[in-house]
Amino acid sequence: MDRTVPNSGNEEISLYIRTYYSLLRSTREVPIRSLIEAHLRTNSALHVAANLHTPDMAAFIYSILRMPDCLIENVRLVVMGQSDWVFAQNDYPNVEAWQSVSAPARRRRSFWDGDKTLAVYIASRSDIDDMIPILTAYQIERDKLHLLLNRPAIVHLLDDAAREPNNVAKLSEALAIIAELTDTPRDDLEKLRTIWANKTAGHLLSIARDKCDMSVRLLAGSFAEYKRATRRWWDNISSTLPDIHFADRPIYFLSSNIHSLPNLLSGYARAEEDNLVQFIEQEGDRDLQQEYQDIVTQTVPSNRENLLYYVMKKYESRYPDSAEKRLAAEKAVGVHRIYSQHVFDVEAQIIEINKLNPEALDPRLKIE
């Protein structure tokens, strides 16, 4: 691979992208360390302290929120592919029999073999452009934390706290001592505790003890594989709804998240307003209760429907069985949710416009 010296910010980013695509093209394992130099040159706004010796906790947290938790303890190889067929053709025959894992801040179908390998389904090059900087930032910041925490006194503290993962007082004491010994802001360690909860001591112990050398492998990067995976994704949609003759109807494609359009079009949250308000009053936090009261008294410009949509997500998280009722109500007005299978994790909603109830639409929508 030719090495060139960039002379502008855009060229540095382009060089970074060319570097990892050139290495990934071989389909062999690519050590993440081979990408660090190009990563550092980009001066990423998401990794502002990459070149410093002190940990960039914001970048580390950004990374761990976007990868499954097993990355911390075990994973050393991340394998990317478009479908179960691609994995099977490259000596990973039954990845969907592995443990299904997920990340708090990213929707990607991922499976962990219980040891050192994580299989991740990708939908496009943009997934690669997202994952490579995340993994590289993780490698850089984990290295910094390893050097910082790899001291006998700190390892002993973490080992002791990890033996009692639910002992909040012991963990608090350990974090306070570690903050003092390493000159690390206590708030940074508390942010990790907020994310990891009772796994905090165990994860920090793994980082302290074990040097991490991550690698990544792209099994197939050709346009043909993305096209094949997309065809399987669409075939799943059409076979799930055989009564809808897609070829005979005009189709409007909208790129959105998985809740915005169903919220606006189904009217379900508004129909469940009494239950959601009761949830706010009885189980919501003070800020949520105050926001609701401010909306009722019209002392803030916030929208009532937006609050209901937000609360419904919390309500279903607290009462998972309630989601079935919502799905049935959505289906009754022509909103069908289709979950992908064996390819990238992209849920689809098929919305039959002629079945929507105009009276149930969000009042901000107008029909002409």
For 47, which DSSP code?
Answer: -
Looking up tokens 């073999």 gives 113
pLDDT of residue 343: 86
For residue 19, which of 100, 104, 129 has the smallest C-alpha distance?
129
CB 270 within 8 A of CB 308: yes
CB 216 within 8 A of CB 78: yes
How far CA 46 is from CA of 35, 137, 155, 292, in Å, comes to: 16, 9, 30, 34
For residue 131, which of 117, 141, 121 has the smallest C-alpha distance?
121
The model's pLDDT over 98-138, given as tens digits with 9 standing for 90+, comes to: 999 999 999 899 999 999 999 999 988 999 999 999 999 99
CB 77 within 8 A of CB 87: no
Give the DSSP letter string of 58-114.
HHHHHHHTTS-THHHHT--EEEEESBHHHHHHTT-TTGGGSEEEEETTEEEEEEE-S
User: CB 324: neighbour CB atoms within 10 A?
Assistant: 10
Helix%, strand%, coil% for the chain, nearest 5: 55, 10, 35
Distance (Å, whole) CA 228 – CA 152: 52
Both tokens assigned to 345: 């994790």
CB 147 within 8 A of CB 50: no
Distance (Å, whole) CA 184 – CA 247: 60
pLDDT of residue 2: 45
pLDDT of residue 49: 96
pLDDT tens string, the chain, 368 residues long: the values are 444 545 455 889 999 999 999 999 988 999 999 999 999 999 999 999 999 999 999 999 999 999 999 999 889 999 999 999 999 999 999 999 999 999 999 989 999 999 999 999 998 899 999 999 999 999 999 999 999 999 999 999 999 999 999 999 999 999 999 999 999 999 999 999 999 999 999 999 999 999 999 999 999 877 788 888 889 999 999 999 999 999 899 999 888 888 899 999 999 999 999 999 999 999 888 888 999 899 988 888 889 999 999 999 999 989 999 999 999 999 999 999 999 888 888 889 999 999 999 999 999 998 77
The model's pLDDT over 292-347, given as tens digits with 9 standing for 90+, comes to: 899 988 888 889 999 999 999 999 989 999 999 999 999 999 999 999 888 888 88
3-state SS, 201-263, equals HHHHHHHHHCCCCCEEEECCCCHHHHHHHHHHHHHHHHHHCCCCCHHHCCCCCCCCCCCHHHH
CB 243 within 8 A of CB 352: no
For 118, which DSSP code?
Answer: E
Contacts of 40 (CB under 8 A, 6+ apart): 50, 51, 140
Q: Which amino acid is at 15?
A: L
Distance (Å, whole) CA 30 – CA 16: 14
Both tokens assigned to 210: 């074990």
Q: Which helix (H) or strand (E) holds 30?
A: strand 30-31
CB 367 within 8 A of CB 357: no
Q: Are strands 348-351 and 335-338 parallel, antiparallel or unpaired?
A: antiparallel
pLDDT of residue 302: 84
pLDDT of residue 164: 97
